[in-house]
């Protein structure tokens, strides 16, 4: 019998979402999915432009000195670059990615302007839920593929080793036969 516990796919029934305006009706929303990670949503006139899932264990109240912090900020930087690529504003008027990151995390941590979204009131919730399930399955597939590759490599190395041993054994038998019969 094969049994698989799919608890890893269970998603909280409600997410916490905060959002900040960036420039010209464009905003970045941060959705916290407890025990899974975050989703960064780039919005243009309240329409979703891009959605990124970040599987990490960073907590809103503990963002300093975390290994994933720089990667998180780089995703925000990419979103800001997308917003500012079509904007004609001075460099000093642009928001800094790390400041955006810290402000979003502070909003979540302090409960400022937090919107709770769920399946009934948000299409974003549904998209993120499906995205995290797909992400978990992709991670499992990658692990399975890596394992299969390792098994194949070990098997190939074992076959090669066995052939080398057999060739040496046959070579030694032939050599012995030649020496015994003084044919060598």
Per-10-residue mean pLDDT, the chain, length 184: 56 85 91 88 88 87 86 93 86 90 93 84 77 74 81 73 66 66 62
What pLDDT does 66 receive?
85
Q: What is the dihedral of CA 85, 91, 92, 98, to 10 degrees?
A: 50
What pLDDT does 136 receive?
74
What pLDDT does 70 receive?
92
What pLDDT does 171 receive?
62
| 37-44: strand order across its sheet | 47-55, 37-44, 26-33, 15-23, 115-117
What pLDDT does 164 receive?
67
Neighbours of 177 (CB within 10 A): 11
What pLDDT does 1 receive?
52
């Amino acid at each position: 019998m094969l049994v698989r516990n799919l608890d890893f796919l269970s998603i909280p029934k409600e997410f916490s979402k905060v959002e900040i305006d960036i420039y010209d009706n464009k905003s970045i929303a941060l959705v916290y999915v407890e025990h899974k990670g975050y989703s960064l949503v780039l919005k243009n006139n309240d329409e979703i432009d891009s959605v990124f899932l970040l599987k990490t264990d960073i907590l809103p109240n503990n963002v300093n000195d975390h290994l994933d912090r720089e990667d998180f900020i780089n995703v925000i930087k990419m979103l800001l670059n997308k917003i500012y690529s079509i904007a004609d504003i001075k460099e000093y008027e642009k928001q800094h990615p790390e400041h955006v990151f810290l402000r979003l995390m502070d909003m979540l941590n302090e409960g400022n302007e937090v919107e709770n979204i769920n399946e009934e009131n948000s299409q974003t919730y549904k998209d993120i839920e499906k995205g995290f399930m797909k992400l978990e399955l992709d991670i499992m597939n990658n692990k399975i593929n890596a394992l299969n590759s390792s098994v194949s490599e070990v098997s190939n190395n074992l076959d090669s080793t066995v052939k080398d041993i057999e060739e040496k054994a046959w070579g030694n038998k032939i050599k012995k036969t030649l020496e015994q019969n003084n044919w060598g």
